[in-house]
Chain A
Amino acid sequence: AQSVAQPEDQVNVAEGNPLTVKCTYSVSGNPYLFWYVQYPNRGLQFLLKYITGDNLVKGSYGFEAEFNKSQTSFHLKKPSALVSDSALYFCAVRLRERYSSASKIIFGSGTRLSIRP
Protein backbone atom coordinates (compact mmCIF):
# COMPACT_ATOMS: atom_id res chain seq x y z
CA ALA A 1 0.00 0.00 0.00
CA GLN A 2 1.15 3.52 -0.70
CA SER A 3 2.06 5.32 2.49
CA VAL A 4 4.24 7.76 4.33
CA ALA A 5 5.93 7.01 7.65
CA GLN A 6 7.49 9.06 10.42
CA PRO A 7 9.58 6.67 12.51
CA GLU A 8 10.07 9.00 15.50
CA ASP A 9 7.22 10.05 17.77
CA GLN A 10 9.39 12.68 19.45
CA VAL A 11 12.62 14.53 18.67
CA ASN A 12 14.42 16.56 21.34
CA VAL A 13 17.05 19.15 20.39
CA ALA A 14 18.86 21.93 22.21
CA GLU A 15 18.32 25.44 20.94
CA GLY A 16 20.97 26.42 18.38
CA ASN A 17 21.68 22.84 17.34
CA PRO A 18 20.68 21.42 13.96
CA LEU A 19 17.48 19.39 13.82
CA THR A 20 16.23 16.58 11.61
CA VAL A 21 12.72 15.12 11.48
CA LYS A 22 12.56 11.91 9.48
CA CYS A 23 10.07 10.82 6.84
CA THR A 24 10.05 7.85 4.48
CA TYR A 25 7.56 7.08 1.74
CA SER A 26 6.27 4.20 -0.31
CA VAL A 27 4.68 5.44 -3.53
CA SER A 28 4.37 4.08 -7.04
CA GLY A 29 5.52 6.59 -9.59
CA ASN A 30 6.88 10.04 -8.84
CA PRO A 31 6.25 11.19 -5.27
CA TYR A 32 4.68 14.55 -4.43
CA LEU A 33 5.81 15.19 -0.85
CA PHE A 34 4.89 17.86 1.70
CA TRP A 35 5.77 18.98 5.22
CA TYR A 36 3.31 20.69 7.55
CA VAL A 37 3.55 22.07 11.08
CA GLN A 38 0.80 22.15 13.72
CA TYR A 39 0.70 24.28 16.86
CA PRO A 40 -1.60 23.25 19.75
CA ASN A 41 -5.32 23.25 18.93
CA ARG A 42 -4.71 24.75 15.50
CA GLY A 43 -4.90 23.63 11.90
CA LEU A 44 -1.87 22.61 9.88
CA GLN A 45 0.41 25.12 8.20
CA PHE A 46 2.28 24.29 5.00
CA LEU A 47 6.10 24.42 5.25
CA LEU A 48 7.46 23.11 1.96
CA LYS A 49 7.01 20.60 -0.85
CA TYR A 50 8.99 18.48 -3.27
CA ILE A 51 7.57 18.06 -6.75
CA THR A 52 10.57 17.67 -9.03
CA GLY A 53 14.00 19.20 -9.57
CA ASP A 54 16.52 19.99 -6.86
CA ASN A 55 16.69 17.45 -4.07
CA LEU A 56 17.10 20.17 -1.44
CA VAL A 57 13.90 22.14 -1.00
CA LYS A 58 13.76 25.36 1.01
CA GLY A 59 10.62 26.42 2.85
CA SER A 60 9.17 28.68 5.50
CA TYR A 61 10.79 29.68 8.83
CA GLY A 62 14.26 28.53 7.75
CA PHE A 63 13.26 24.90 7.24
CA GLU A 64 14.50 22.78 4.36
CA ALA A 65 14.02 19.17 3.31
CA GLU A 66 16.19 16.73 1.45
CA PHE A 67 14.61 14.35 -1.05
CA ASN A 68 16.51 11.08 -1.45
CA LYS A 69 15.06 8.79 -4.09
CA SER A 70 17.32 5.80 -3.39
CA GLN A 71 16.42 5.84 0.31
CA THR A 72 12.78 6.90 -0.34
CA SER A 73 13.15 9.61 2.27
CA PHE A 74 12.20 13.25 2.65
CA HIS A 75 13.73 14.43 5.93
CA LEU A 76 12.98 17.88 7.32
CA LYS A 77 15.97 19.88 8.51
CA LYS A 78 16.96 23.18 10.05
CA PRO A 79 20.55 24.30 10.68
CA SER A 80 19.85 26.03 14.00
CA ALA A 81 16.77 25.22 16.09
CA LEU A 82 14.69 27.80 17.95
CA VAL A 83 12.49 27.22 20.99
CA SER A 84 9.60 28.53 18.89
CA ASP A 85 10.08 25.60 16.48
CA SER A 86 8.57 23.31 19.13
CA ALA A 87 5.43 21.85 17.53
CA LEU A 88 3.98 18.78 15.83
CA TYR A 89 5.32 18.09 12.34
CA PHE A 90 3.63 16.04 9.64
CA CYS A 91 4.99 14.57 6.44
CA ALA A 92 2.42 14.00 3.67
CA VAL A 93 2.17 12.58 0.17
CA ARG A 94 -0.36 13.27 -2.56
CA LEU A 95 -1.68 10.13 -4.23
CA ARG A 96 -3.48 9.99 -7.57
CA GLU A 97 -6.63 7.94 -7.82
CA ARG A 98 -6.63 5.18 -10.39
CA TYR A 99 -8.42 5.93 -13.63
CA SER A 100 -9.15 9.54 -12.78
CA SER A 101 -7.54 12.93 -12.31
CA ALA A 102 -8.58 12.98 -8.65
CA SER A 103 -6.00 12.86 -5.90
CA LYS A 104 -5.89 12.74 -2.12
CA ILE A 105 -3.34 13.66 0.53
CA ILE A 106 -2.33 11.20 3.22
CA PHE A 107 -0.30 12.03 6.29
CA GLY A 108 2.26 10.37 8.49
CA SER A 109 1.59 9.89 12.19
CA GLY A 110 3.43 13.05 13.17
CA THR A 111 6.60 13.85 15.10
CA ARG A 112 6.61 16.09 18.14
CA LEU A 113 9.63 18.38 18.07
CA SER A 114 10.76 19.78 21.39
CA ILE A 115 13.49 22.43 21.51
CA ARG A 116 15.00 23.07 24.95
CA PRO A 117 16.57 26.46 25.79
Chain B
Amino acid sequence: DGGITQSPKYLFRKEGQNVTLSCEQNLNHDAMYWYRQDPGQGLRLIYYSQIVNDFQKGDIAEGYSVSREKKESFPLTVTSAQKNPTAFYLCASSPMGMNTEAFFGQGTRLTVV
Protein backbone atom coordinates (compact mmCIF):
# COMPACT_ATOMS: atom_id res chain seq x y z
CA ASP B 1 0.00 0.00 0.00
CA GLY B 2 1.31 3.42 -0.90
CA GLY B 3 0.86 6.24 1.51
CA ILE B 4 2.00 8.06 4.60
CA THR B 5 2.25 6.31 7.93
CA GLN B 6 2.27 8.14 11.21
CA SER B 7 2.95 6.32 14.42
CA PRO B 8 1.78 5.95 17.05
CA LYS B 9 -1.85 7.01 16.70
CA TYR B 10 -2.08 8.01 20.36
CA LEU B 11 0.81 9.08 22.55
CA PHE B 12 0.93 10.02 26.19
CA ARG B 13 3.91 11.70 27.83
CA LYS B 14 4.73 13.33 31.10
CA GLU B 15 5.44 17.04 31.15
CA GLY B 16 9.13 17.83 30.67
CA GLN B 17 9.88 14.81 28.48
CA ASN B 18 10.89 15.00 24.84
CA VAL B 19 8.86 12.83 22.48
CA THR B 20 9.41 11.89 18.84
CA LEU B 21 6.59 11.37 16.35
CA SER B 22 7.26 9.17 13.37
CA CYS B 23 6.30 9.92 9.75
CA GLU B 24 7.21 7.61 6.85
CA GLN B 25 6.10 7.80 3.21
CA ASN B 26 6.55 5.43 0.29
CA LEU B 27 5.17 7.76 -2.36
CA ASN B 28 8.65 8.89 -3.48
CA HIS B 29 7.70 12.48 -2.66
CA ASP B 30 10.43 15.06 -2.24
CA ALA B 31 8.58 17.42 0.10
CA MET B 32 7.31 16.64 3.60
CA TYR B 33 5.46 18.76 6.15
CA TRP B 34 4.43 18.76 9.80
CA TYR B 35 1.28 20.52 10.99
CA ARG B 36 -0.30 20.99 14.35
CA GLN B 37 -4.09 21.04 14.70
CA ASP B 38 -5.90 22.56 17.68
CA PRO B 39 -9.68 22.97 17.96
CA GLY B 40 -10.87 26.09 16.16
CA GLN B 41 -7.42 27.01 14.84
CA GLY B 42 -7.09 24.93 11.74
CA LEU B 43 -3.70 23.59 10.71
CA ARG B 44 -0.54 25.46 11.56
CA LEU B 45 2.77 24.67 9.84
CA ILE B 46 5.59 23.58 12.14
CA TYR B 47 8.40 22.53 9.78
CA TYR B 48 8.76 21.49 6.17
CA SER B 49 11.44 19.93 4.02
CA GLN B 50 11.93 19.94 0.27
CA ILE B 51 14.98 17.68 0.08
CA VAL B 52 17.07 15.39 2.24
CA ASN B 53 19.20 17.12 4.87
CA ASP B 54 17.37 20.42 4.45
CA PHE B 55 14.29 21.82 6.22
CA GLN B 56 12.68 25.16 6.97
CA LYS B 57 10.79 26.55 9.95
CA GLY B 58 7.09 27.10 9.61
CA ASP B 59 4.92 29.49 11.59
CA ILE B 60 5.19 27.72 14.96
CA ALA B 61 8.60 26.00 15.03
CA GLU B 62 9.55 27.01 18.58
CA GLY B 63 9.81 23.99 20.87
CA TYR B 64 10.01 21.51 17.98
CA SER B 65 12.85 19.93 16.01
CA VAL B 66 13.02 17.75 12.89
CA SER B 67 15.49 15.79 10.81
CA ARG B 68 15.44 14.61 7.19
CA GLU B 69 18.17 12.01 6.86
CA LYS B 70 16.20 9.90 4.39
CA LYS B 71 13.73 10.88 1.68
CA GLU B 72 11.08 8.58 3.17
CA SER B 73 11.27 9.78 6.76
CA PHE B 74 10.62 13.10 8.54
CA PRO B 75 10.40 12.60 12.33
CA LEU B 76 9.23 15.41 14.59
CA THR B 77 10.53 15.84 18.14
CA VAL B 78 8.38 17.75 20.58
CA THR B 79 10.78 19.10 23.16
CA SER B 80 10.20 20.11 26.75
CA ALA B 81 10.52 23.73 25.57
CA GLN B 82 7.14 23.51 23.81
CA LYS B 83 4.77 25.25 26.21
CA ASN B 84 1.53 23.55 25.21
CA PRO B 85 2.32 20.33 23.34
CA THR B 86 -1.04 18.57 23.67
CA ALA B 87 -2.49 18.56 20.12
CA PHE B 88 -3.22 16.53 17.02
CA TYR B 89 -0.15 16.34 14.77
CA LEU B 90 -0.42 15.73 11.04
CA CYS B 91 2.35 14.80 8.62
CA ALA B 92 2.02 15.30 4.87
CA SER B 93 4.06 14.84 1.72
CA SER B 94 3.89 16.08 -1.85
CA PRO B 95 5.85 16.07 -5.08
CA MET B 96 7.79 19.21 -5.83
CA GLY B 97 5.92 21.86 -7.77
CA MET B 98 3.38 24.57 -7.14
CA ASN B 99 0.52 22.62 -8.73
CA THR B 100 0.78 19.55 -6.51
CA GLU B 101 -1.49 18.61 -3.64
CA ALA B 102 -0.33 17.17 -0.35
CA PHE B 103 -1.14 13.70 0.93
CA PHE B 104 -1.74 13.33 4.65
CA GLY B 105 -1.12 10.68 7.25
CA GLN B 106 -3.79 9.71 9.79
CA GLY B 107 -2.30 11.83 12.53
CA THR B 108 -0.88 11.36 16.02
CA ARG B 109 -2.78 12.63 19.03
CA LEU B 110 -0.28 13.68 21.67
CA THR B 111 -1.40 14.20 25.24
CA VAL B 112 1.03 15.57 27.79
CA VAL B 113 0.06 15.12 31.41
User: CB within 8 Å of B: which residues of A?
Assistant: 6, 9, 32, 34, 36, 41-46, 49, 51, 90, 94, 96-97, 101-110
How far does the alpha carbon of A41 sit from the alpha carbon of B109 in the complex, in Å? 9
CB distance from B108 to the nearest CB of A (A): 10
- Contact, CB under 8 Å: B101 / A49: yes
- Contact, CB under 8 Å: B56 / A41: no
Given A32-B98, A45-B104, verify A90-B43 contact (CB < 8 Å).
Answer: yes
- Contact, CB under 8 Å: A34 / B101: yes
9 interchain pairs (CB within 8 A)? A32-B98, A34-B102, A41-B109, A44-B90, A45-B104, A96-B98, A102-B56, A103-B97, A110-B43
How far does the alpha carbon of A45 sit from the alpha carbon of B106 in the complex, in Å? 10
- Contact, CB under 8 Å: A105 / B104: no
Closest residue on chain B to residue A50 by CB atoms: B99
How far does the alpha carbon of A90 sit from the alpha carbon of B42 in the complex, in Å? 8
B77-89 interface bits toward A, Cβ cutoff 8 Å, 1 = contact, 0 = none: 0000000000010
Looking at chain B, what size class is its interface with the partner chain? 20 to 34
**CB of B96 closer than 8 Å to a CB of A:** yes
Given A42-B106, A51-B99, A97-B56, verify A105-B33 contact (CB < 8 Å).
Answer: yes
User: CB within 8 Å of A: which residues of B?
Assistant: 4, 6, 31, 33, 35, 40-45, 48, 50, 56, 58-59, 88, 90, 92, 94, 96-107, 109
The 6 A-B pairs of least Cβ separation, nearest first, read A43-B104, A109-B42, A107-B43, A51-B99, A44-B104, A46-B101
How far does the alpha carbon of A51 sit from the alpha carbon of B45 in the complex, in Å? 22
- Contact, CB under 8 Å: A94 / B98: yes
Which of B4, B45, B96, B101 makes the CB contact (< 8 A) with A106? B45
Chain B residues within 8 Å of A41, by CB: 88, 107, 109
CB distance from A45 to the nearest CB of B (A): 7
- Contact, CB under 8 Å: A46 / B109: no
Chain B residues within 8 Å of A36, by CB: 104
- Contact, CB under 8 Å: B90 / A104: no
Which of A51, A97, A104, A109 makes the CB contact (< 8 A) with B41? A109
Chain A residues within 8 Å of B97, by CB: 103
